Amino acid sequence: MIFEESTDTLLEVNSLKTYYATKTGYVKAVDDVSLFLDRSKVLGVAGESGCGKSTLVTTIFRVMPRNARVVSGEIKFKGQDLLKMDLKTFRKEIVWKDMAYIPQASMDVLDPVYKVKDQMLETILAHEDVSRAEAMERIYRTLESVGVPQEKADMFPHELSGGQRQRVVIAMALLLNPSMIVSDEATTALDVITQAKILELMKSLQESRKFSMMFVTHDLSLLANVSDSIAIMYAGKLVEFGDVEKVFSNPLHPYTQLLIKAIPDLRVRKQKKLVAIPGFPPDLENPPKGCRFAPRCPLAMPVCSEREPEFARVEGFHYVACHAVNRK
Ligand SMILES: Nc1ncnc2c1ncn2[C@@H]1O[C@H](COP(=O)(O)OP(=O)(O)OP(=O)(O)O)[C@@H](O)[C@H]1O
């Protein structure tokens, strides 16, 4: 799928399908997803747990579980299909250097047996031909830019608080000055105040350093103030994609509408009753025919359980896959 709205494309995911092989069949975790991210922009990706967000991210970084297969599609980064690159070259030339990853669990990146500075040093020296002294200088500068005092560099990850560890992981991601940073539920494990601080830090770093960011979360409310565009996933499918203002002010897909209704309004003291979405996401090994959201959809029509809705442009940079919207 070609998106005309992309003016300065950095990342382009085209018709991507990533399935997991199981004893009984295939879990269609990412099933024909297309999206893009422009340079110096932020793309927010949201959806309930199990909708395929992490599978999308691990496919981009080629760190999928062993039973995962890319069935079809391409992931173009700076015009080059990452899935076709030799894995060794990809790891040496692209990962960390040009695109970095901040996962939910900081300990997935930080090795507990290395001091912070030694891990950071290794990351720099594995990719760049610089002296140790230059590398150390950069480590201290980067730690400072994320609000971690230099002396913490001598500590082991377990000696830091959860928030500090997450800041160190952000510093790791920044070390080689990548063009894109992907954050997968990077603030989820933190308390609400630390979460807000980390989010603010990531946004200010993105603005000052001008990298592109893909921010993945199950919490749509986090995306309103940081994103330029929003992609909503449901059961392995992209159901809505567009400019952040369009998606928040005029959500078109019934699933997006329900997600937005479920966001508490912090300005109101007495909360109206929050709307929980009834039912559960489908089994991705045997997804329902037609629209995967139809069994839970308040607007479902007979056609919805017959035919899959087309992912189509509604107006400007705003796409949706819904029979009810697209037939209007
Ligand atoms: N290794 C695996 N083998 C089989 N199925 C898997 C595997 N990993 C994930 N899945 C399934 O693939 C689907 C998508 O999972 P994924 O982790 O990508 O979703 P998610 O939106 O990131 O959820 P969460 O936020 O809970 O991680 C889910 O149904 C999940 O159970």
Q: Which atom of ligand 1 is nearest to the CA of 22?
A: 4
User: Burial of 8 by CB count in 10 Å (0-12 exposed, 13-18 middle, 19+ buried)?
Assistant: exposed
H helix and E strand count, the chain? 9, 12
Between 83-92, 103-112, 235-244, the lowest mean confidence (pLDDT) is in: 103-112
- Cα distances from 314 to residues 1, 127, 297, in angstroms, run 15, 44, 20
Q: Is the pLDDT of residue 269 over 60?
A: no
Is pLDDT above 70 for 272? no
* Structural tokens at position 164: 């500090």
Q: Which atom of ligand 1 is nearest to the CA of 55?
A: 18
Q: Is the pLDDT of residue 264 over 90?
A: no
* Triad 154, 203, 241: Cα angle to 5°: 130
pLDDT at 82 over 80: yes
If you take atom 18 of ligand 1, which residue's CA is the nearest one?
52
87 has a pLDDT exceeding 90:
yes
Q: For the segment 178-216, what is each residue's pLDDT rounded down to a tens digit?
A: 999 999 988 887 788 888 888 899 999 999 999 999 999
Domain ranges of the chain: 9-92+211-326
In 163-284, which ranges are E strands?
Answer: 180-184, 212-217, 229-234, 237-243
Using a 10 angstrom Cβ sphere, with 0-12 exposed, 13-18 middle and 19 or more buried, the burial of residue 110 is buried
Tell me which of 53, 183, 214, 219 to substitute to probe ligand 1's pocket, judged by most ligand atoms within 8 Å of the beta carbon. 53
Three-class SS state of 284: coil
**Element of type H or E holding 168:** helix 162-174
**ipTM (interface predicted TM):** 0.97
Residue keyed to tokens 């592109």? 212
Confidence at residue 265, expressed as pLDDT on a 0 to 100 scale: 67
DSSP 95: B
Closest by alpha carbon to 138, among 156, 150, 152? 150
Percent of the chain with pLDDT over 90: 77
Q: What is the pTM of this model?
A: 0.93
Higher-pLDDT residue of 273 and 263 is 263
CATH architecture group of domain 9-92+211-326? 3-Layer(aba) Sandwich (3.40)
- If you take atom 20 of ligand 1, which residue's CA is the nearest one? 50
Residues 35/44, Cβ–Cβ less than 8 Å: no
Residue 284 Cα: closest atom of ligand 1: 29
Report phi then psi at 38, rounded to 5.
Answer: -85, 165
Atom of ligand 1 nearest to the CA of 64: 1
Asked if residues 157 and 112 have their Cβ atoms less than 8 Å apart, the reply is yes
Per-residue pLDDT tens digits for 212-229:
999 999 889 889 989 999
Q: Whose CA is nearest to atom 6 of ligand 1?
A: 20
Structure token pair of residue 238: 């992209």
> How remote is the CA of residue 171 from the centroid of ligand 1, in Å?
27
Q: What distances in angstroms separate CA 100 from CA 59, 125, 170, 187, 197, one per listed residue?
A: 13, 16, 9, 16, 20
- Ligand 1 atom 12 nearest Cα: 29
- Say yes or no: CB of residue 232 within 6 Å of ligand 1: no
Contacts of 231 (CB under 8 A, 6+ apart): 35, 43, 44, 45, 46, 238, 240, 241
Point out which residues pair with 231 in neighbouring strands.
45, 241
Neighbours of 1 (CB within 10 A): 15
Is residue 328 very low, low, confident or very high in pLDDT (cuts 50, 70, 90)? low
> So what's the pLDDT on residue 297?
94
With b meaning 16 or more CB within 10 Å and e meaning fewer, what string describes 191-210? eeebbebbbebbbebbeeee
Identify the pLDDT of residue 163: 87
Residues written for the chain:
328
Beta strands in 191-279 (DSSP E): 212-217, 229-234, 237-243
Centre of ligand 1 to C-alpha 318, Å, is 27
